Amino acid sequence: MLLVGNPNTGKSSLFNALTGLNQKVGNFPGVTVDKKSGSFSIKNNKVKIIDLPGTYSLSANSEDEKVTQEYVEKATGDEIIVVVADATNLKRNLLLLTQIIDLGKKVVLVLNMMDLLQRNNHEIKVQKLSMLLGIPVIPLNSRIGKGIEELKYAIANYQSKSTKFIEQKTSSNVIDETMLRYNKINQIVNECLIVNGEDKLAILTRKIDNILTHKVYGYLIFLTLLFLIFQAIFSWASYPMELIENGFLFLGEKLGNALPDGMLNDLIVNGIIAGLGGIVVFVPQITMLFAFIIILEDTGYMARVSFLMDRILRSFGLNGKSIIPLLSSTACAVPAIMGARTISNVKERLITIMVAPLISCSARIPVYTLLIALVIPKESSWGIFNVQGVLMMGLYLIGFVAALLSAWVMKMLIKSKEKSSFMLEMPIYRMPRWKSVGIEIIGKVKVFLFDAGKIIIAISIILWGLSSYGPSDEFEKIEVKYANIEQSDNSEELQSQEASEKLEASYAGIIGKTIEPVIKPLGFDWKIGISLVTSFAAREVFVGTMATLYSVGDEDNTTTIRQKMMQAKNPNTGGKLYTKATTYSLLIFYAFAMQCMATLAVVYRETNSIKWPIIQVVYMGLLAYFSSLIVYTIFS
């Protein structure tokens, strides 16, 4: 069974209602950009269902629409195609349906969002519509599951009918055929739809759009929303973050005291617990960011942002539809790059894919938060505004500006004669589906925690081993050196110095020292160098790596990674290692560098060429290096 329909008609909601799965849903076109599979039972028989990307017709213009066209055209005689239509916009939705009917496929029409239709005292004569189309028609409200059982019954008892919407083509011209279809569709809609006044939600939507899509106020409102989001992320998340941080310190201390001294104790406390604690502490901030983005999507506001940004983006070689992948990149670049399939222009799609990773993603939040805290106390404010939140928003804006400028350069370099077009349906404003919002937030946080967690545990164990061991003769020299030093009241300080020297002599230290000459001009030491390397697995691994490196050999399990980094000394000057110059340089490096293997893999898959991921790594790496060099030079 195939699930098809126009964008934003509730296909994914129906898919979830049938299968019990939690597919992403949203109140804007382009949520589903790839096929999603599931199954459900009818009379003890399992039915496989495929949710396909939204399309307005079977004349595919973009990559996601081609997926739907291919599946529909290849559907077997036994396969039922369920076309999901927005009941409040019946005329537009019937074009795709009639094309599928004329292919001779088994079709069931679902009239979704019947609650919105009835709220306006409008009515569809369902039985008459079914008779005129010659197919089963099921009224439904997928948000609450009303009509699901009726749909299952229609599928289970489907009777094949030989029907054609257009009996004979009068012309080979596509345009003429479409006009013929719409003429017949208009007749059917006039017979079946009873309209009692204008749609109340449509009236309200127009009034809100007069403000939110205003050529001046619209941009100011969007920037204000972003500003408030980042203020909230820092203000509201601080208390749960402190609880999590203290919880991991308590756990580390208890385990350290409970386990016998030795290698296992050190591995668990200073390797695994330190690494995981360094990343889990940022879950409240990431949860809030996801929540804000999902709510904006579900209300229909994101479609307005696309409309607003089209004029700006077009001059940089992008498209209004590019803003959805770019904004989605604030969560994760991987699904964002896949979301670029909705862009029909090949050049604009490629440029969107190439610049999307410059937008700061949720994986950068732990890095940003940790580094910002090293130079900006959380109490710092400009009036009512938290300075940490302002700096965080600044990093996001810098990423967006860098994406635009990079896109402009690529616009000059990539040649194409294909014309650009921008067509986007503006959904009506709706209240967020709070259950779906909650489910999606939980799903995204799980992905962040478990995907990042697996990588962090693996890297923490490897790093612990590399940091705890080294060439035996070097370790022996250090042990002999400190054994010959007379122990006194400063024995704790001597132990710390010994641990520090062993860390530098370890295999991790050797690797870091090899990298150090290249990154030293940016203000980075060898420990940062190791973190830069491990961050290629995933950016958030930076925090876990630093937590492990600063914990190995440290007997103090009551100090957070932030406190340890604030206390770190520059071995050459004896002053603070993480000065404003070093920290700002590191922030800029992480804002621009391509440090995500998963993103590179999806870029390769979407472009079907190794050339573009290589170009992406090189240009983003050079941008990160030289931008960091400039920043370090300025603040030094």
Would you say residue 482 lies in a domain?
Answer: yes
Q: Are 20 and 104 in the same domain?
A: yes
Average pLDDT, the chain: 82
Any idea of the CA torsion for 561, 563, 564, 565, to the nearest 10 degrees? 90
Handedness of CA 559, 561, 563, 567 (dihedral sign): positive
Q: Are 406 and 487 in the same domain?
A: no
- Cα–Cα distance for residue pair 37/50, rounded to 1 Å: 5
Lowest mean pLDDT among 29-43, 73-87, 483-497: 483-497
Would you say residue 433 lies in a domain?
Answer: no
Would you say residue 369 lies in a domain?
Answer: no
Task: Please choose, from the candidates 120, 143, 433, the residue with its C-alpha nearest in 3D space to the C-alpha of residue 299.
Answer: 433
Q: Are 507 and 575 in the same domain?
A: yes
Would you say residue 41 lies in a domain?
Answer: yes
Would you say residue 554 lies in a domain?
Answer: yes
What's the pLDDT tens digit per position in 250-262?
Answer: 888 888 888 887 7
The per-residue pLDDT for 470 is 80
**CB distance 270 to 547 below 8 Å:** no
Three-state SS annotation for 319-341: CHHHHHHHHHCCCCHHHHHHHHH
What's the pLDDT tens digit per position in 96-154?
Answer: 898 898 888 889 999 988 887 777 778 889 899 988 888 999 998 766 668 888 888 88
What's the number of CA atoms in the CB half-sphere (13 Å) around residue 551?
35
Mean pLDDT of 424-444: 79
Whether the predicted pLDDT of 337 surpasses 50: yes
> What's the pTM?
0.71
Q: Are 250 and 175 in the same domain?
A: no
- Cα–Cα distance for residue pair 292/303, rounded to 1 Å: 15
Q: Are 227 and 193 in the same domain?
A: no
What's the pLDDT tens digit per position in 486-529?
Answer: 555 456 666 667 777 777 788 888 888 888 999 999 999 888 88
Burial code of 514-523, b = ≥16 C-beta within 10 A, e = fewer? ebbeebeebb
The per-residue pLDDT for 318 is 86
**CB distance 5 to 54 below 8 Å:** yes
What's the pLDDT tens digit per position in 196-226?
Answer: 776 777 788 889 989 988 888 888 998 888 8
**Token couple for 76:** 């077997």
Mean pLDDT of 560-564: 80
Q: Are 159 and 39 in the same domain?
A: yes
Q: Residue 162 — pLDDT band, cuts 50, 70, 90?
A: low
Q: Are 182 and 269 in the same domain?
A: no
Element (H, E) at 175: helix 174-192
- Cα–Cα distance for residue pair 567/562, rounded to 1 Å: 9
- Cα–Cα distance for residue pair 492/495, rounded to 1 Å: 5
Lowest mean pLDDT among 26-35, 78-87, 286-295, 498-507: 26-35
Element (H, E) at 221: helix 217-258
Q: Are 178 and 297 in the same domain?
A: no
Q: Are 78 and 170 in the same domain?
A: yes
For tokens 């573009």, name the residue. 612
Would you say residue 367 lies in a domain?
Answer: no
Q: Are 511 and 406 in the same domain?
A: no
Would you say residue 152 lies in a domain?
Answer: yes
The per-residue pLDDT for 569 is 83
For tokens 């079946």, name the residue. 192
Mean pLDDT of 155-174: 68
**CB distance 52 to 15 below 8 Å:** no
- Cα–Cα distance for residue pair 212/206, rounded to 1 Å: 10
Mean pLDDT of 366-379: 86
Q: Residue 580 — pLDDT band, cuts 50, 70, 90?
A: very high
The per-residue pLDDT for 110 is 92
Task: Please choose, from the candidates 187, 223, 370, 371, the residue with its C-alpha nearest in 3D space to the C-alpha of residue 309.
Answer: 223
For tokens 């916009």, name the residue. 89
**CB distance 86 to 124 below 8 Å:** no
3-class secondary-structure state, position 110: strand
Task: Please choose, from the candidates 477, 456, 466, the residue with its C-alpha nearest in 3D space to the C-alpha of residue 503.
Answer: 466
Would you say residue 431 lies in a domain?
Answer: no
Q: Are 86 and 185 in the same domain?
A: yes
Lowest mean pLDDT among 26-30, 396-400, 516-520: 26-30
**CB distance 355 to 406 below 8 Å:** yes
In CATH, what number is assigned to the domain containing residue 154?
A: 3.40.50.300
Total domains, the chain: 3
For residue 474, what are the CA distances in angstroms to 481, 500, 501, 526?
11, 13, 10, 18
Q: Residue 22 — pLDDT band, cuts 50, 70, 90?
A: low
Strand pairing category for 123-124 and 193-194: antiparallel
Q: How far is CA 325 from the centre of its chain?
A: 9
Q: Are 519 and 585 in the same domain?
A: yes
Using a CB cutoff of 8 Å and minimum separation of 24, what contacts does 206-211 make?
Answer: 208/429, 209/304, 209/426
Q: Which of 116-125, 181-190, 461-470 has the highest mean pLDDT?
A: 181-190
The domain containing residue 507 runs over which residues?
452-635
Task: Please choose, from the candidates 248, 238, 332, 319, the residue with its C-alpha nearest in 3D space to the C-alpha of residue 285.
Answer: 238
Q: How far is CA 123 from the centre of its chain?
A: 39
Q: Residue 298 — pLDDT band, cuts 50, 70, 90?
A: confident
**Token couple for 201:** 């939600």
Question: How are the residues of the chain apportioned to helix, strand and coil, as percentages rounded to the nearest 5?
Answer: 65, 5, 30
